[in-house]
Chains A and B, each alone.
Chain A
Amino acid sequence: MIVDGIEDEEKWLAEGIAAVQQNAFYMLRAVDSDNLREALKYSAQMLSELRTSKLSPHKYFELYMRAFDELKKLEIFFKDESRHGLSVSDLYELVQHAGNVLPRLYLLCTVGSVYIKLNEASCKDLLKDLVEMCRAVQHPIRGLFLRSYLCQVTRDKLPDIGSENEGVGDSVMDAVDFVLQNFMEMNKLWVRLQHQGPGRIKEKREKERNELRDLVGKNLHILSQIEGVDLELYRDTVLPRILEQVVNSKDELAQHYLMDCIIQVFPDEYHLQTLDVLLAACPQLQPTVDIKTVLSQLMERLSNYAASSTEVLPEFLQVEAFSKLYNAIGKVIEAQIDMPIVGAITLYTSLLMFTLRVHPDRLDYVDLVLGACVKKLSGRPKLEDSRATKQIIALLSAPLDKYNDAVTALTLSSYPRIMDYLDNDTNKIMAMVIIQNILKNYTCISTADQVEALFELIKGLIKDIDGSSVDEVDEEDFNEEQNSVARLIHMLYNDDPDEMLKIICTVERHIMTGGQRRLPFTVPPLVFSALKLVRRLQGQDGEADGEEAPASPKKIFRLMNQTIEALSSVPSPDLALRLYLQCAEAASDCDLEPIAYEFFTQAFILYEEDIADSKAQFTAIHLIIGTLQRMNVFGVENRDTLTHKATGYSAKLLKKADQCRAVYACSHLFWVDDQDGTKDGERVLLCLKRSLRIANAAQQMANVTRGSSGPVTLFVEILNKYLYFFEKGNPKVTSSAIQGLVELIRTEMQSDTSTPDLAATAFFNSTLRYIQFQKQKGGVMGEKYDPVKL
């Protein structure tokens, strides 16, 4: 049925066009022979085609344009009195004899425009007459097009500054009156259009109305082009009258479009100077009008205007643009009770943008806007609407982007309060935005208060918010978030150790609430940040640490101890162990033996209790050995205890190869290669021998279980250790021992059961080459190696 309707419409349009063309043909023939009566007759017939009610606005427009083109030719004929022999005033009467109102008025407008052009009568009276007579067409579509025609044919003839008819009793005011009058009538028709036809096609009707809106808007455009409409005229007459019409139309579509139109067609400067008038109209609009878009447009335009030149900025201050906008928005939100929350937020976002661009120095304004937003949000549940949350993100991101400095945002008291209204996901997104901003700009957060505020802002990332289910969080996202937090912790820095300590304490307090999934991410940066501070303190005044200064290494270590403990109970023992060792080393550098010992103890306890995986054990023991080797703070007793433990654990590793490697690594614990380091050659040798034994045992085990001996790699590695200590001058490591080991490896390699291992062979060969090299090098080292026969 609908298809039929469209086809019918096409048919009607085609018929209409054909009739227009036919009558236009006769009309032009009459024009060519200067026959006025015939020309009028056929033009009236042609225009009668526009009386149809069957066409949709779109199709009607097509028909109208055809007739419009023909009328232009008729107008030329009318202009030439010598051809039709009638004075224009007589012609003006003559066309009014037509019986049908629509053709009559089209012709009247055509002659009227000629009449004005010829300047023979008062332009003012003619304009007034035309606009009044057009009232006779009350049919919305036909009326709109007729008036649009009127507007089109008169637009270049309106009295304006510098025009021919200016000053002959016709003023700009007459032009303004005329256009305004026409605008008001057109708007009424346009609004009325919605009541046409049955209710069920309302939607279609609205669409059609939307297509026609530019006809109405054209009037405003013409007004804006009248040069004589200066600020004063605009403020005192034009704008109030337009707004009166807009408000009184009580129509959503019209109000929205026209407000937008006003904002778009008139100069920014005028808007600025008439802000209160324009804004006062806003709360009076229908509650359903999408006022936020309108105001946003306005603010955007004003912002751009402000940005265009610094010279205009004083104007903004002078008219108190901000407070006017702020109040207006408040009123609009108050008036439009049903406005969805997203609308209010959008408005505030726009206002904020405006503020940031026009008054970048007024943080109090920014805070005021945010505060208003909080007020609006208060007493509501958290936002579920995705558009609203998106807007909030935009709102909150704006100051960050503008100032490129999150610290500024931290000083805004309302900022975190808005974030409270976000749902968890959005809160996280926003927190990420903040963090990214800080990271991008290398913003340094330098006081504990700021840190406190910042963590308040990003608490969505710091801890689980009630009710959020952990399972649903995407692993990857979570990791990324937490990595960002970790990076953020490094951005918190102050040169003053006391303040820095406060920062660290604050961070610690916050991240401790993070729960087991977050701690592994957040504790390490905190620990390192703290250690950095320790190093700094140590560098500054190594002596002062005895006193109870606010920031002493002891205090920090105490704190670290707690922190890492929390991590170990998460459980994340590997990480905790590493951090303990780091702390121990730092403590060692600070000459704090008890503390270092404590850390080591903790590390060992962890090793014993929580590290069960053999691979992890192997790594851990190496870390322990490595750290312990570098420690120089311990007294003999303590050191013995610790080294004893370490070697003990090494020998108790599960895999023989691991055992072997750990044990030979332990040898280093007894030989610290610096001036006053331990140099216990005996125990070094013991370790090495022990590792050899283990290697042998490994070899035999391999023989038994697999029928082939295992790799000789272990032997080669031990050989290298021998060489190291040999060179370092350990008296217990002798050339004969090396010689023996080399022989041993050779036999192992040549035995039938051994599996050839290219890597091991290469390793061995290069070791041999090294020995050869040292021998040939001569000097002290050459002599040392001399006894070794290969």
Chain B
Amino acid sequence: MNYILGAFKPACHISITFADEKNRKKVPIKKENGQTVMVPLFQSQENIVGKISVEPVQGKKIEHNGIKVELLGQIEMYFDRGNFYDFTSLVRELDVPGEIYERKSYPFEFSTVEMPYEAYNGVNVRLRYVLKVTISRGYAGSIIEYHDFVVRNYSPLPSINNSIKMEVGIEDCLHIEFEYNKSKYHLKDVIIGKIYFLLVRIKIKNMDLEIRRRESTGSGANTHVETETLAKFELMDGAPVRGESIPIRLFLSPYELTPTHRNINNKFSVKYYLNLVLVDEEDRRYFKQQEITLYRLAENSS
């Protein structure tokens, strides 16, 4: 029995550890199976250093045609499942073909790796970074181990950050002017603003501010667009009269937002919108959508 079972067991155990794993910040990511795991966080231009240890199952030896570690930046489209597009691919050969009898460690280092894109887990697309260890074998098939990590890139404070100010309306029915204090927000930012009611001839019941994420994937005729409402924040209760101004103060921190991604490797884009929605007593909705840019600000520099 043991013999049979042994045939399905992996022939060895591969572990990947980063050099500064203990001190490095970890962030949660969601695996395909729905579990959340904590993985280390890197940013572009960092050195990714660590070691890989291969430990054969007790009393077994592993014959291999060479061991390598790859650092991959992949974009995965869900409608095109299993087809990864690697935008970054770096390889380090760890060992020449041979046999391993006992636990063996291989240090590795990728220096100042260019990782321009942030990890992203969307509705139709995923961008991930992974270390892939391959023990190539001839007949038995290669042994492959993946290790995810997350990349986040911080942006400086934008030099130009105009407010968004706009007057919209329906003739002789509703005229409002709204103002958001910025057009670019970092992820822990607060949206401050005001809505002025210049003309109100409809019976408004309430007003919400929504944060919508628009994810578009593919290009040309194959473009898929997916919009999600990530936040629905009630701004106003009841019907205002002309001349009234309603304050906006929306904290972004409670919501799971990512920075805006524009045309990532010609594969996908993620954009954010503020959607101002007025609902009248007959539940008709009047709305105005306005794009905002989200960026990630280094946590200590906010």
Which residues of A pack against B, CB within 8 Å?
A: 51, 93, 96-97, 99-102, 104, 132-133, 135-140, 142-143, 188, 192
Are A100 and B239 touching (Cβ within 8 A)? no
User: A-B pairs with CB below 8 Å: how many?
Assistant: 52
Bound CA span A101–B246, Å: 12
Set of chain B residues within 8 Å of A133, measured between Cβ atoms: 247, 249
B234/A101 in contact, CB under 8 A: yes
How far apart sit A140 and B249, CA to CA, in the bound complex (Å)?
Answer: 22
B19 to chain A, nearest CB (A): 35
The residue from A135, A140, A192 contacting B247, defined by CB atoms under 8 A apart: A135
In the assembled complex, how far is the CB of residue B39 from the closest CB belonging to chain A, in whole angstroms? 26
With A101-B234, A192-B241 in contact, is A138–B254 under 8 Å at CB? no
Residues on B lying within 8 angstroms of A by beta carbon are: 206, 231-241, 244-247, 249, 251, 253-254
* Complex-state Cα separation, A136 to B245, whole angstroms: 8
A97, B239: Cα distance in complex, Å: 23
**Given contact pairs A93-B251, A96-B249, A97-B251, A136 touches B244 in the complex (Cβ within 8 A):** no
Instruction: Tell me the complex Cα distance, A104–B245, Å.
Output: 18
Does the CB pair A138–B238 fall under 8 Å?
Answer: yes
- Complex CA gap A97/B240 in Å reads 23
CB of B246 within 8 A of CB of A143, answer no
Q: Is the CB of B247 within 8 A of A132?
A: yes
Question: B244 near A135 (CB under 8 angstroms)?
Answer: yes
Q: Which residues of B contact A135 (CB under 8 A)?
A: 244-247
Complex contact A136–B241 (CB within 8 A): no
Taken together as a complex, chains A and B put the C-alpha atoms of A210 and B168 apart, in Å, by: 37
Residue of A104, A138, A188 near B246 (CB, 8 A) is A138
A44 to B253, CA, bound (A): 19
Q: How far is the CB of B252 from chain A (nearest CB, A)?
A: 10
B251 & A136 in contact (Cβ 8 Å cutoff): no
Contacts of A101 in B (CB 8 A): 206, 234-237
Which one of A132, A136, A139, A143 has the highest number of Cβ atoms from chain B below 10 Å of its Cβ?
A136
CB contact under 8 A between A139 and B237, given known A96-B251, A133-B247, A133-B249: yes
Given contact pairs A97-B251, A99-B234, A101-B236, enumerate 12 new A-B contacts (beta carbons under 8 Å).
Answer: A51-B237, A96-B249, A97-B254, A100-B234, A102-B237, A133-B247, A135-B247, A136-B237, A136-B246, A137-B236, A138-B246, A139-B239
Q: Which residues of the partner chain A approach B236 to less than 8 Å between Cβ atoms? A: 101, 136-138
13 contacts between A and B (CB under 8 A): A93-B251, A96-B251, A101-B234, A101-B237, A133-B247, A136-B247, A138-B237, A138-B241, A139-B239, A140-B238, A143-B237, A143-B238, A192-B241
List A contacts of B234 (CB < 8 A). 99-101, 104
**A139–B238 contact, CB under 8 A?**
yes
A138 touches B244 (CB 8 A): yes
Q: In whole angstroms, what is the CA distance A188 to B245 when docked? A: 13
Cα–Cα distance between A96 and B254 once the two chains are bound (Å)? 10
Q: How far is the CB of A196 from chain B (nearest CB, A)?
A: 9
Interface majority SS (helix, strand, loop, mixed), chain B = strand
CB-based contact B247/A138 at 8 Å: no
Bound state CA distance, A138 and B234, in angstroms? 12
**Chain A residues near B233 (CB-CB < 8 A):** 99
A133 CB → nearest B CB, Å: 6
Which residues of chain B are near A143, meaning CB under 8 Å?
237-238
Which residues from A are CB-within-8-Å of B246? 135-136, 138
Q: Quick one: closest A residue to B243, CB to CB?
A: A188
Question: Of all chain A residues, which has the CB nearest B200?
Answer: A138
In the assembly, what is the distance between CA of A740 and CA of B236, in Å? Answer: 126
The CA-CA distance from A142 to B239 in the complex, in Å, is: 11
Cβ contacts under 8 Å, B206 to chain A: 101
A254 to chain B, nearest CB (A): 15
- CA distance in complex: A51, B236 (Å): 12
Give, as a whole number of angstroms, the nearest-CB distance from A164 to chain B. Answer: 28
In the complex, what distance in Å separates the CA atom of A108 from the CA atom of B94? Answer: 59
Question: CB-CB < 8 A to A138: which residues of B?
Answer: 236-241, 244, 246
- The 9 A-B pairs with the shortest beta carbon distances in the complex, nearest first, are A139-B238, A138-B238, A101-B234, A138-B240, A97-B254, A137-B237, A100-B234, A101-B237, A136-B236
User: How far does the Cβ of B254 sit from chain A's closest Cβ, in whole Å?
Assistant: 5
Q: Which residues of B sit under 8 angstroms from A93, Cβ to Cβ?
A: 251
Q: Which chain A residue shows the least CB distance to B231?
A: A99
Chain B nearest CB, measured from A698 CB (Å): 105
Smallest CB-CB separation from B236: which chain A residue? A136
Residues of B within 8 A of A137 (CB): 236-238
Contacts of B253 in A (CB 8 A): 97
Name the CB-closest residue of B to A137.
B237
Complex contacts, B240 vs chain A, CB 8 Å:
138
CB distance from B257 to the nearest CB of A (A): 14
- Contacts A96-B249, A192-B241: A136 and B235 contacting too (C-beta < 8 A)? yes
- The answer to whether B244 touches A99, judged by C-beta atoms less than 8 angstroms apart, is no
Least Cβ distance of B22 to chain A in Å?
27
Contact present for A142 and B237 (CB under 8 Å): yes
A97 and B255 CA atoms in complex are apart in Å by: 10
Q: Which residues of B contact A97 (CB under 8 A)?
A: 251, 253-254
Nearest CB of A to B80, in Å: 36
Provide the residues of chain B in CB contact with A99, threshold 8 Å: 231-234
Q: How far is the CA of A136 from the CA of B244 in the complex (A)?
A: 10
Chain B residues with CB under 8 Å of A192's CB are: 241
In the complex the two chains form, what is the Cα distance from A143 to B237 in whole Å? Answer: 9
How distant is A147 from chain B, measured CB to nearest CB, in Å? 13
Q: A102: nearest residue on chain B (CB-CB)?
A: B237
**In the complex, A137 Cα to B241 Cα: how many Å?**
12
Q: In the bound complex, how far is the Cα of B252 from the Cα of A93, in angstroms?
A: 11
Bound together, the chains give a CA A331 to CA B2 distance in angstroms of 111
* Chain B residue nearest in CB terms to A133: B247
Q: Complex formed: what's the CA distance from A51 to B241 in Å?
A: 20
Complex contacts, A104 vs chain B, CB 8 Å: 234
Instruction: Compute how far the CA of A126 lies from the CA of B253 in the bound complex, rounded to whole angstroms.
Output: 22
> What's the nearest-Cβ distance from chain B to residue A213, in Å?
19
* Minimum C-beta distance from B164 to chain A (A): 20
Q: How far is the CB of A393 from chain B (nearest CB, A)?
A: 47
Cβ of B235: which chain A residues have Cβ within 8 Å of it?
101, 136
How far apart are A151's CB and chain B's nearest CB, in angstroms? Answer: 18
**How far is A192 from B238 in the complex, measured between Cα atoms in Å?**
11
Q: Which A residues lie within 8 Å of B231 (CB)?
A: 99
CB neighbours of A140 from chain B (8 A): 238
Please, which residues of chain B bring their CB within 8 A of the CB of A51?
A: 237
A97 to B234, CA, bound (A): 10
Q: Roughly how many angstroms separate A568 CA and B37 CA in the complex, as a whole number? A: 128
Q: How many angstroms between the C-alpha atoms of A562 and B235 in the bound complex?
A: 95
Q: How far is the CB of A145 from chain B (nearest CB, A)?
A: 12
In angstroms, Cα B245 to Cα A455, docked, is 69
Which residue among B231, B236, B237, B254 has the maximum number of chain A CB atoms within 10 Å of its CB? B237
C-alpha gap A142/B233 in the complex (Å)? 18
Separation of A404 and B236 alpha carbons in the complex (Å): 65
* Chain A residues within 8 Å of B254, by CB: 97
User: For residue B247, which residues in chain A have a CB less than 8 angstroms away from its CB?
Assistant: 132-133, 135-136
